[in-house]
Structure 1
Amino acid sequence: MYESLLFIIYICIFLAGMAALRNGLFNLSGESLKKVLSKVTDAPWKGFLTGTIITGVLQSSSAVMVMTVGLVSVGSLSFSQTIGIILGSNIGSTVTTEFMTLSLDKWAIPGIIAGVGFCLIPHIMAKSFGTALIGLSAIFAAIGGFKMLAGPLSSLPLVDKLLISIENHLVLALITGIVVTAIIHSSSATIGIAMSFLAGAQISVYAGIAIMLGSNIGTCITGYMASIGSGPEAKFTAYAHIWLNVLGVLFFLPFIGSMESLTALLTTDKALQLAHASVLFNVITSVLVLPFSRQFAKMILFLHKG
């Protein structure tokens, strides 16, 4: 019971850290990024590059999706312009996954102290940098907590049974990734949790990749919720995000074993293998769809315009 409560607290710390990091970075560059996003032309590759860069800067594909849906709902972007942005945001999100593999939890407390110091400086840039630093430090503190609790949690009968089921049933691992991400609204947190169980050898990279794929579907709920109450074009944008990830996951499901073998050739670090698998999935999916972005937009309109 104590471990479960502590685990929930660390999840809250991770989500709060992501929010602080995102807010700090947005205050530093958000308005200029928003202007760039609103001026994306009809060329899908320009939206693709813009979505990749902005997501990499803000460390959140969900934030970029919410921003994109908002711009569509007020008429600053058309639905067709968002396809490239969506494709790029999926790639930009992998920056966070790769970043989480760094073992920096020992710098969490010094980072928070330094962040508070910057927040005390009466200047908006300093305060924004301090907020981002506090958020980043909280993320690494939470990841350290996940790793510490992976062993004790896996000894609990319910968790142990779930981990065994995930290991033996690919679909259950996929559903777990979807559900957990939909609940906590963060694919990064879900992948971070999977990495902690990987580090303790409670699950295999194979199961971790299945959870990661599920998290890419679960993260679509944020953009969909942002589209509720908006116009039809905003809803089309949310549907495009959902279809992109669902079709991508269905395409990659038979190749999870191949992804596991390929990433094992790149590194022996299991958490890094999962991060690399996330990069492979998002890059290949987005690059394959990019040349057909206009046809993809027409498919969304055909399926949902009624």
Structure 2
Amino acid sequence: MTVMRTGLLNLTEDRTKGFLQHFTDHPIKGMMIGAVLTALLQSSSAVMVITVGLVAAGYLSFYQSIGIMLGSNIGTTLTTELITLDISNYVFPLLIIGFLLLFSKKKLPFSIGSSIFGLGCLFVAMGGFESLALPLSLFPNVQEFLMHTNDRHLIGVFLGTVITALIHSSSATVGISMSFLNNGLLSLPAGIAIMLGANIGTCITAYMASIGGIKEAKLTAYAHIWLNVFGVLAFFPLIPLLGKVVEFLAVSADVQLAHSSVIFNIVCSFVALPFVKPFSRFVERLHR
């Protein structure tokens, strides 16, 4: 994912900064731009790091950044939907073409090569998770831990938060959960709990980017954390209901989890959108 993100960022970084500066005067515009750019870059963390950097440099205000983070939460769900696709016949050509383009000294082919090679590696990694899930579950300690996660959803939220904070990718955490789901080792509600925690854990990247920055940059990072924490607190009691909804929408367990991520982030972002001003004042008062 880092290789793919590098390639996509090299292709679009200048334009990304331009869009973020010029089309975020209203939270609705900010949310739309944040969603589109995150979908293109396949990383909410990358968009948030760029946003924090622009706020720190004085090109964006803290208020403008909130719309972008609402959109980035929506855009990142494209990755979880993407990794549920079966493109096994195309993975090897993607790796070969991408690997060859990595040797180019020109920016455009190198960036395209990074994107293609990273995408191929992502699907190889997902296959690796899938094949390792069952052997890993044979260890007694892992079995016991999975049982606790299935019984206590709060453990799942904690697990998703910690893993995502360590690997800086909520999509990868959800992908790992999908492999356990597909092998019947993890229940759907437990997978949803891990997905909720992953949304909190992904805030660590923006927070680290704000360290040493101006006050507004730090407020942006804090707002990102609080936004996701409030969303998780609101949805945590609704985990069983969300599980039933996605079971109606899809048959495959991994697709159900991907859909739950889409529903969670879209609902949270659209509910928060009318309250951007009071939310920004809340964060400013809390973190004076």
Same fold (TM over 0.5): yes
CA contact (8 A) 1:105 1:137 kept: no
Asked whether the 8 Å contact 1:42–1:80 carries over to 2, the reply is no
What SS does structure 2 have at the residue aligned with 1:288? helix
CA drift at 1:39: 2.0
Q: Return closer, same or farther for 1:111/1:34 CA change in 2, 3 Å cut-off.
A: same
Which residue is 1:153 aligned to?
Answer: 136
8 Å contact from structure 2 (residues 191, 257) kept in 1: yes
User: Which residue of the partner structure matches residue 28 of structure 2?
Assistant: 45
Task: Report SS of the residue matched to 2:184.
Answer: coil
1:300 aligns with 2:260: no
User: Which stretches of structure 1, 4 residues or longer, exceed 3 Å deviation after superposition?
Assistant: 119-123
- Contact 2:24–2:68 (Cα < 8 Å) also in 1: no
> Is 1:179 aligned with 2:162?
yes
- Equivalent in the alignment of 1:196: 179
Aligned to 1:33: 16
1:257 match:
240
For residues 289 and 202 of structure 1, the distance between their equivalents in structure 2, rounded to whole angstroms, comes to: 34
Shift of 1:60: 0.3
Residue 106 of structure 1: how far off its partner (Å): 4.7
Q: How far is the alpha carbon of 1:85 from its aligned partner?
A: 0.3
SS of residue paired to 2:274: helix
Equivalents in 1 of 2:18, 2:201: separation in Å? 28
Two-structure CA RMSD over aligned residues (Å): 1.1
Other-structure match for 1:139: 122
1:40–1:81 Cα contact (<8 Å) kept: no
Q: 1:1-306 alignment to 2 at 5 Å?
A: 18-121=1-104, 123-305=106-288
C-alpha distance after superposition, 1:149-169 (max 9, x if no partner): 010000011111110110111
Change (3 A) 1:122 1:41: closer
Amino acid of the structure 1 residue aligned with 2:179: S
Aligned-residue offset at 1:115: 0.8
Answer yes or no: is the 8 Å Cα contact 1:105–1:144 preserved in 2. Answer: no
Q: How many Å apart are 1:170 and its aligned residue?
A: 1.1
**Aligned AA for 2:123?**
F
Structure 2: how far apart are the matches of 1:47 and 1:122?
A: 35
* CA pair 41-141 structure 1, distance change in 2 beyond 3 A: closer
How far is 1:31 from its partner?
A: 1.1
**What runs of 5+ residues in structure 1 fail to find an aligned partner?**
1-17
Deviation of 1:122 after TM superposition, in Å, equals 5.1
Once the two structures are superposed, residues 274-304 of structure 1 have per-residue CA deviations (whole angstroms, 9 ceiling, x without a partner) of 0000000000000000011111111111111
Q: For residue 141 of structure 1, report the CA deviation from its aligned partner.
A: 0.3
Cα deviation code 1:201-228 (max 9, x no counterpart): 0011110000000000011111111111
Q: Deviation per CA, 1:173-228, whole angstroms, max 9, x where unpaired?
A: 11111111111111111100000000000011110000000000011111111111
**1:229 deviation in Å?**
0.6
Do 2:24 and 2:67's aligned partners in 1 also have CA atoms closer than 8 Å? no
**How many residues in Structure 1 have an aligned counterpart in Structure 2?**
288
| d(CA) in 2 for partners of 1:90, 1:120 | 34
Contact 1:263 1:277 in 2 (8 A): yes
AA matched with 2:235: F
Query: What is the Cα deviation at residue 111 of structure 1?
Result: 1.2
Gaps of 5+ in 2: none
Change (3 A) 1:41 1:150: closer
Does the CA-based 8 Å contact 2:173-2:195 persist in structure 1? yes
Provide the C-alpha distance between the structure 1 equivalents of 2:250 and 2:118, rounded to a whole number of angstroms.
28
